[in-house]
Every structure is written in structure tokens, then in C-alpha cells.
Structure 1
């Protein structure tokens, strides 16, 4: 890929130089919130705005036609990246939150009725809770919540006993944004389909960290955001099986999503255009293409191994500090959440920031999980391709300083 040096699969992952927004000595450990952008993504966006910009789908002039080809090529790139059967199964949205809301309104809102049930888990992000609550309240459906295992995984054994033929939808995170625990998606799919339910998987934290093949996983809906995948903000992807998209009505009305408009009647475009009203985030899509190329150039298997090693190093070092409580499983994917006895996570984050270590502190848009853990908030360190052992050392040194300050 232009702009990036070749990387040996056996070489240590050393990508820090590719990220212009990470200065020397700054340990950026908030990738689960948003990933920093490699120079190739910045260049792709700058080039699109500065040299090749035009609208898509409507223009008959050459530059618009060229931009349309480039924009739609991104859809094909996304399809290959996640193992979709067809680019037409991939809908561009503003982010994973909008993708889940789209499914809630256009599928659940038309398919669910009073007495139906939705299955969620205790560790879901608010974006995978609130949209289902809204549609359940409107149609008269009910929500059930699957508990967690002792080490913070979705308890699929418990889910197997809870599911009934009244459950029409299961919605679960592939990787927890707080605990880093990884869902056994094929088993979850088997359980959901076993009672006739559809299943949506929130892939925000998995797509940047794990190889994903939606066809092999067997799920019905899969969502993720570009900005966690080293791409731009304001763009996400909804993947859904073609037959489900075909049967879903549009959510928003406007340009691009129509077939023909009259004051008497409007007919709609086939998917994915049916769900993409208005001028799209053209330049953001080109940035996503560059981000996917960048990640594929390194290799997701290699990225996962790199982040797993950093998690193991961090958990071992933090676990040796008496006042630190580690949360989640030992094999969490790229994420380490913890608390320090007697110290609010916001204070942890502030003191670490003084040492040039950037972490997230708060409830991480997962307040029900905080309640289940018996805490108001946690400190969370999350890793990316640009992190290395030196960042873990800076984190641990900062935590030790916190414990000294608070006695």
C-alpha cells in the first residue's frame, strides 16, 4: 500500500511512526473509545477534499463519475473485509449507534408485537440497550437480560435456559467495550436461531482487533464504526442478510433512497440505497477504505496477538499492586479495566494524564454493567497497533504514583 513500508509478519509490531497525532512520550491508551489515525488515512481524506472532491451518484461529469466509482468501491472493500456475500449487504450509516437504531426501527419496529421478547446481556453498551427499549415500549415487547460469568463473559449457558420461542431478537456485543471479553458468536447464533430469533452483533470493538467473517458467523445483523477501525468519525456500517434488508422499509426519507417520487406516491430504491438518504459521507468512506487497507496490511491475526501480549503484560503488572482490582477475563481483547481501592477513576485518569498517559475513566456508556460490578465507574486502558511495552510501563508507573498519592 502506498505510504506504508512493508511489514514482515514475524517482526514485532512497530506502527507508532505511522500516527502523526501521537507525539513522543505520550501513551495513548484510549483506543476503545476512538483509534488514532495513520498518515495514510489522513492523506486519503486530504486528497479527496483537496484534489478529487465531487458529489456521488448524481453528477454526469467525469469527476463525479470517478468519485462515485471510488465511493462504491469502498462498499466492496468493506464486504471483502467482513466476509459479506455481496457489497449490497453493506449499508453506510453515521456509526454503529445509527446502525442499531436503523435495525430497531426498520426491522424490530415492524416485526415485533406485544408479548414478544428481546434478549440482551448485562455488558451491553447503551447504544445496544436504549434503541431496543424504545421499540419495545412502542410495540409492547419485553426485554430480558442475560447475566455474566464470574470472569465477565456473556453466560451463554444461562442464555440457553432463558431463551423461548417468544424471543424474536438477540443483540450482543462481540467484544465488551469495558471488560474486553470475547463472545462465542457461533454458539450465540445457534442459540438464537434455535428458538427462531434473529441475532444482531455489535462489532465495534471486534472489527479492529479480530478477523471477522459475518457469513461464517451466521448472524443476521452486524454493525461497526469506522473511527474505532483507525478511520474517520461520522461513518459506520450495517451489514445484514440480503433477504432481511429487502423486507425492511426505509427509515429516513430524502434524496438517493428513492426510485420515483410523486405527490401521490413514492417508491423506494433497493438496498442499500434505500437506507442511505441524503448526501453521504463521501470523503469519510474513502478514509475508511484506507483504514481497512492499513489494517489488512498489518494483519488482524497479528494485531490481536500484539494486543493480547500487551493485555497480559498490563494485567500481570497491575495485578501485583495490592489496591488494584482487575475486571474481566485474563484473555480480554485489547482492553484492561480496573479500579483502585479508595480512588475515584476520574482521579486516576487525571493523575495519569499528568504523566502523559491517556486512559478512559467513567461508566463507558455501560451503566447497567457498572451496577452489576458494584462500582460507579472504572479506569480503562485500551490498546492499538501503535502501543508497545513502553506504554504499559508508563501506565503501571502512573498507577503506582496514584497509590502513593492516595496512601
Structure 2
């Protein structure tokens, strides 16, 4: 890992969503699926995933899901069930209620909360399969009350055997009733526009590779999306009370995701900085995904040496990381100074994987510095709000001329007359 001062590192990581060729390819796939439906969906599945299917094989059967249970171990089943309970409990606290406010003049204003009708969930399956992403996508939608949740995942997450059985079991445990073996940009297009087999959705959620991200961007506006996810990120803000082994392990927990993942330590302690650099080298050697993690550390890993913890906080807020761990003597005392971070982990025992898998908060979190203005996936992502206005006669008589004044100021005489005709009829 490189030991740098913050000004040497460059705190604004440029957001790039694919090369021109990748963008062109993603848009071509989306357009083809939009135009020819299942034909393009099946063609790209064979071409890109090396899996030849017919239209009636796209949907995963109940028999396949039940067979998957025979391939997973009981400890996994126990863990996924308890994680689901924690995730559901956390997201239930985010529920909103509709409200109405009645004024003395008879006016009633309010906000109506309704769930989206149909949501598409993308579960990735590239360098690894992620059953945990099933829970993090599906459970908030269920809590919000979404009646139709459809899941798509690449057809060979389990290699030549097909979909990874752990993903199928996670889907069943989460209550998914509609599941398709299709991935990549073609899956996003199918969810957005619909095909002969897959009905279109109102929103698409879930991370994926660069082609999934680019396809989500291409269909935004036709449907809503959660975000355009970038590579994983972790920043650890630490002082000399922190354990170098813990920090190194947590940095590598994100570096192993992807060669473009970012793992950064911010500290004012040069002694800790050097110890963590040495510990990362030691732990790297025994990591199964060593090649991926090493590429990430070499390209996007760094130790940023600041002059003070206060400067470190400023660096963190500029980075706006997806995951932030605070390993200081009193991490709670720093919490109020953190303005930009997707998820904040406090203390030595709140390792990032605790949030990834089990604690309850969502692990689908804004990347590429977008934590400055966006949030982790939550129940609000699966609801829509309608404003409600019931104006009484008295209210219109009291305020109609003000409304007309504003309308005519903007040159919209039709707006003004819509009010004037009522006032005239009431003798005003």
C-alpha cells in the first residue's frame, strides 16, 4: 500500500461509468431486447453467458428451488434465516405513514404513501455469488408492501450446474415467487421493457457488473433505479489505539471484491500506518482471492497520513465513502462530525462484514462519492408519495385572488381564469 499525504492522493475520485465501447455495447443490448423481447434475451444469454435456453426455461421452477435445499448446509440455512430476521426488523423501523391535516376553514392537505406495484431485483453472479444481496433487495421491498417482486440472476452463478443453490435458497427464504435465470444488460432491459416471458417492472434494484450499471442508466426514466453502483469502497479512520491486524483484515475484505475496489486508511499515526502496510502484505499472501485483492490494493489502496484527527475527518467527508470504519479511542465522539458516508461502523468489533451480512442495515450503499447526496437502499426506495389537496369553498374565496395574482405574474391566464370562474360564480 502507498503511504501518502492527502494532497498527494487526490480526494476526488473521478466517476467513470464504463468506456465508450462498453456504453455502446450496453445500449445495443438494451435496444435489441426492447425491440425483439425473448429472442434477443435468449440470444445474448447464449452469446455472453454461454448458456443456451428456450423461453420456457427462463423461469426457475419450484422443483429446482426445493432441490437446492438439499445442496446447502444447515449452518448456512440457520445464518440466512437469522440474518433475514435482523434485516426485516431494521427496515420495519423505516416505515412511513400516510397523513392528513384538516384546517379550520375546511381545507384538508395530506400525503398518501403507497408501495410500488412491481419491482425487479438483480442479484449478481460474476466473480462470486451473493445470497446476501437477495435479502438486502427483497426484504425492504416486502416491508414497503410491494405485491410483486421479481428476481433475475445470471444463469450460471453456480458454474456449469446452473444457478448457485445458495442464491435459490436465499430467494425462497426471502419469499421470492418469481425468479428468472437471466443476467447482464439483457436482464435489465427485460425488466424495464418486458418480453413475452417477463412482465415489465416499475423499479430495478441491485448491484451488478459494469454492463448492468450501464443498462440501468440507459433505462432510467422508463423505470426507476436504486443507483448506478460502482466498485466497493472502504475507508478506515483510526488512531494509534487501533489494532493493525483488524484494519488490514477489513481493508482486504473490500479489496477482494474487485480489482477496482478502493481500500483506504486515514490516520495521524505514522506508526499505525506502517504497521497496517506490513500487516496487509502478510494477510494478502494467504487470501484465496489474492490476485484480485492485490490488484485493488496496488491500484486504489492507500494509507493517508494526516496531521491530526480533525484533518482526517475532513478527508473522510471529502471521500464520502461507501463504508466508513472509525477505530479510535472514542469513536462515538467523532460520529457527529461525519457528514458523508454510506454506512458507519464504530469500534473494533463492528467490522464491515457485520453490516454486509447480519446486523440488519442494508449493504447496498452509495459508491463513487455519491454518499454526499444519496442513501443505502431502504424502504423509501419502494414507495411512492401522492400529495392530496381538498380545498373548501371558504379557502378558495379567501385565497383565490392571491392564486390569480401569481398565475398572471407568470403569464398563465388560463390558470387564473380557472380560479376566476369559481369566484365569479360565488359572487366574488
**TM-score of the superposition, structure 1-length normalised?**
0.25
Q: Which has the larger radius of gyration?
A: 2
